[in-house]
Chains A and B, each alone.
Chain A
């Protein structure tokens, strides 16, 4: 093969490979559910407050993207959230919040973990989170973020909800398997909070 022919063959191969790669990123997303077994329950204010480092009201201002951790086995979607009020913990300002799962651009899969719906930019939620060393506040897949949109507020009962959440934060429920968080074990918890700050 002459040098000229070899160059053409190499260029053709590169173009073909590039075309295949580009085509892959046009493949529609499929959907897959990951199946957890949970060690803790977060389905009441008391249980959620007992587990969380922070319980707060925040507005989602942007969806940042996806990140991977733990040898690429875990995928997260991260959001920018402006904290409006903290019911528990030291969270404040503009912070990064991560949810488990999201759109995996490499595998072309929408990964769903648990029942928690994805956060929506522009909406305000009550969140119960733990601070992760990765530099974000994790909203776990078994806590349903409370959407504070006017059309959803107080829609399902006459319960004094604010009292329920104040009560939950004031009297958190401990669980046998709710082991200490990274914040509660850290020599410098403020450093963990600082890593999750965006302002």
Chain B
């Protein structure tokens, strides 16, 4: 209270006291902080973007090299042919970029009943990622387009956080893929 001296004593002290009371009162009512949630529970599979046995795409992203690797990895499992869109109708999925610092995600798969589904990549994070981590993000989002949900193991590319240790489909991902698309 050493600052409460001189001509402005009353106003300053009232302001300090009110501020302290408000903060104390509000903080006293706070609920417990959120527990550290299960990082990434196994999720149900998504509706996916596959049409029949094809997944056609258009690219409006700078991460084309990572996309090519991801496509190659998933295509190696067979059953679904991921390929560039040709023709007049819309593609099954369109990949594009945003650059936003105010959100926590690096990649997002959006399902739409009308028009193409979207894969949105956030350059705010990807710009500083290593090639492997970028590849992991793109492979992850393409996995959603292939109907795969999140997996709880950090060793799966379908793990929901970029701390994943896999950048291409691993045994857990392949098992989930086979469960959806067959062997």
A residues sitting closer than 8 Å to B (CB atoms) are 30, 32-45, 51, 57, 70-71, 73-74, 84-85, 100, 107, 109, 111, 113-115, 126, 129-132, 138, 140-144, 146-148, 150, 152-157, 159, 161-162, 164-166, 168, 177, 179-182, 185
B33-41, B69-77, B78-86: which lies at the interface: B33-41
B residues sitting closer than 8 Å to A (CB atoms) are 22-23, 26-37, 43, 46, 96, 98, 100-114, 118, 120, 122, 124-125, 128-129, 137, 140-141, 144, 149-150, 160-162
A143 closest partner in B (C-beta): B104
Closest 3 CB pairs between A and B? A162-B27, A36-B105, A138-B102
CB-based contact B110/A73 at 8 Å? yes
CB-based contact A141/B34 at 8 Å? no
C-alpha spacing A144/B162, complex, angstroms: 19
A36 closest partner in B (C-beta): B105
CB-based contact B108/A113 at 8 Å? yes
Please, could you name 15 A-B residue pairs with CB atoms under 8 Å apart, sorted by A? A32-B113, A33-B46, A35-B109, A35-B149, A37-B105, A37-B161, A38-B105, A42-B104, A57-B26, A132-B102, A140-B103, A148-B31, A153-B31, A161-B33, A162-B28
Residues of chain B within 8 A of A150, CB atoms compared: 29
